[in-house]
Amino acid sequence: MPQTPPKEQLPAQSPEPVKQDDFNYDREKLNEEIQQQRMAAGGSGGAVVIDTEAVPPPPSVEQSAPVPADITSGRSVLWTDKSIFNTYPERTTLQFPGAAEQAKFLSEQIPELSETQARLILDKSLGRNSSVVFGGSRVRGDFTPGGFGVGSDIDVGFGNLNANQAGKLIDSLNKQFSQDPAMLMLERTRITPGNTTPTITDPIVSPEEFFQRSGMRVAPDPKAGQPYIPSGSVTVRPDGTIVIIPPGA
């Protein structure tokens, strides 16, 4: 049997403390830079598919955890027709020239995430040598435009930060995002390797592993007793790659 290659490990590095001064961005300048880099990258955004790995089609409800009707609107698959996984139904690795192109891709694939906000998240995370992992309902496609409502957040994990570091980064980013009603707030749960919470009793192996979990919600979660299903994930790495992992992969 072929041997499974070892998992890629990003080098560990202690990030610098987050300072409020780091978040004094010139929005117009950043938007201008994004537009210039978008023009330079061309219509493809500079993405190159460097690896794909076939995964089974999404299992039916009978093959997976029970699916709440209000989540899937009657669908019996792990993602909807609005999800990134319709374009990338296999585990796929894309190579981009840099963070600007990665941010553009994210804004095109994750509902209501602007290119400017994606760039801010990447700049503060990749600059600390950590991957950024997007998951949850926005990645799975369980949405309608504007349907999440005011205050709806986005699930983000960090592959190379500890819980304390991630908490400080999330709080700092959210403080900035709260000043712009067009920007999404980050979910405050610290989705980092080794972390546990009162509602996450099994230590998180990685953000990617966390977004593959399914089961029943437990107290003190307000939705205790309700089932949840995998969302899959989109991982952005400092080396310019984006790894797309569908539910069940």
pLDDT, tens digit (0-9, with 9 covering 90-100), for 148-206:
444 468 999 999 999 999 999 999 999 999 999 999 999 999 999 999 999 999 999 99
Can you tell me the distance from the alpha carbon of 25 to that of 165, in angstroms, rounded to the nearest whole number? 21
> C-alpha 194: how far from its chain's center?
18
Predicted pLDDT at 219: 82
> Which residues neighbour 154 within 8 Å (Cβ) at sequence distance 6 or greater?
110, 113, 134, 136, 138, 184, 185, 186, 187
Q: Of 99, 100, 87, 2, whose CA–CA distance to 49 is shortest?
A: 87
Q: Where is mean pLDDT largest: 63-67, 166-170, 217-221?
A: 166-170
Radius of gyration of the chain (CA): 18
More confident call, 100 vs 36: 100
Predicted pLDDT at 221: 79
Predicted pLDDT at 16: 45
Can you tell me the distance from the alpha carbon of 99 to that of 125, in angstroms, rounded to the nearest whole number? 11
Can you tell me the distance from the alpha carbon of 178 to that of 185, in angstroms, rounded to the nearest whole number? 7
Count of Cβ atoms closer than 10 Å to residue 246 Cβ = 27
List the single range of 10-14, 55-59, 131-135 with lowest mean pLDDT: 55-59
Mean pLDDT estimate for the chain: 78
Residue 67, pLDDT > 60, answer no
Strand (E) or helix (H) holding 106: helix 99-109
